[in-house]
Amino acid sequence: MNLSILGIPMDLGAGRRGVDMGPSALRNAHLTRALRDLGHSVTDLGDVRVALPETADKHSEGGMVFLDPILDACQGTRDRLAALPEGTFPLTIGGDHSVSMGTVTGNALRGNPAGARMGLIWVDAHTDYNTPGSSPSGNIHGMPVAHLTGLGDPRLSGLGGGWHMRPEDIVMIGIRSVDPHERELLREAGIKAYTMKDVDQLGITRIHEETIERLSGTERLHVSFDADALDPGVCPGVGTPVPGGLTYREGHLLMELLSESGRVTSMDIVEVNPILDTRNQTAEVMVGMAASLLGQRIL
């Protein structure tokens, strides 16, 4: 497969610094080599331009911190991804989770100005379904999914140029932290979310089967993998850790099964924070997750 790696070194959407170094940490953990060893042809496209928090306009507007520079970075990401040749598999490396507003729209718009029907598998501790009105923090990394479905601020929800995700095409896995008003928005939208309780009860195999069945009508399938979906013992280098996450093997099994489904067309790795990490462990684990999604097997 032709893989394109694109970095988005942005921490403007998160409440603490450091995930802007996520792309470096992942490259340092030999991301390219791991994927080449699987037989893929890998091109590293470098990084999207992102403003520095020290010099960017922080003024928080309508409950959104760093709106303007985040919008810029998401537009840059979207345009870069939309212009890639069809048939390439983009692997986008963040960066805080607000980058996904740019990655998902860019991947939907590639070769299709109206936007393809896209399935979204959101692997995360959080649902990231806040709007500026519901967010307790104002941090935009808690808001990308809501904007992808057309809620919230029109500048962010307009990144798809009229294209939006259908709520029924979204499946969340690993969930264990939802804000009070966010919960109501998720219910109203009817988004399918497998909490950690569901993971415990049903197991990853069943969840994977139901997910693929549910998203069978979509043309493309994007996996957005937030490192904080995994347990903080496995991925300590994240800014918003929540106990009781996916085990190392649950993460790999999900990626292995999704790989075998043959349906996934793009992926994000986000929220890797080397400042908070232990000897780059989190980046190394996440490189392993990408490798499993892209064909690595034990035997």
Where along the sequence are the contacts to Mn ion (CB under 5 A)? Answer: 97, 124, 126, 128, 226
Q: How far apart are CA 253 and CA 72, in angstroms?
A: 36
Residue 103 tokens read as: 């990655």
Catalytic residue list: 97, 124, 126, 128, 141, 226, 228, 271
Contact assessment for residue 57 and residue 68, using Cβ atoms and an 8 Å cutoff: yes
Our CB check for ligand ARG shows the closer of 257 and 289 to be 289
Our CB check for ligand ARG shows the closer of 168 and 179 to be 179
- Give the single-character DSSP code of 64: B
240 near ligand ARG, rule: CB under 6 A = yes
**Partner from Mn ion, ligand ARG, none contacting 139, C-beta within 5 to 8 A by type:** ligand ARG
Q: How far apart are CA 147 and CA 265, in angstroms?
A: 21
Closest separation between CB of residue 216 and ligand ARG, Å?
A: 27
Which residue among 68, 179, 198, 210 contacts ligand ARG (CB under 6 A)? 179
Closest separation between CB of residue 234 and ligand ARG, Å?
A: 16
Check the CA dihedral 173-177-182-184 and report its sign. positive
Contact assessment for residue 73 and residue 50, using Cβ atoms and an 8 Å cutoff: yes
Our CB check for Mn ion shows the closer of 124 and 250 to be 124
**Partner from Mn ion, ligand ARG, none contacting 179, C-beta within 5 to 8 A by type:** ligand ARG
Closest separation between CB of residue 42 and ligand ARG, Å?
A: 26
| Site pattern 118..157 for ligand ARG (x: CB under 6 A) | --------x-x-x----xxx-x-xx---------------
Our CB check for Mn ion shows the closer of 124 and 153 to be 124
Q: How far apart are CA 181 and CA 251, in angstroms?
A: 28
Q: How many CB atoms lie within 10 A of CB 221?
A: 22
Q: How far apart are CA 41 and CA 22, in angstroms?
A: 22
> Which SS3 state, helix, strand or coil, does residue 135 take?
coil
Which are the contacts of 217, defined by CB distance < 8 A and separation ≥ 6? 117, 169
**Partner from ligand ARG, Mn ion, none contacting 222, C-beta within 5 to 8 A by type:** none
Residue type, 23: P
Residue ranges binding ligand ARG (CB under 6 A): 97, 126, 128, 130, 135-137, 139, 141-142, 179, 226, 228, 240, 271
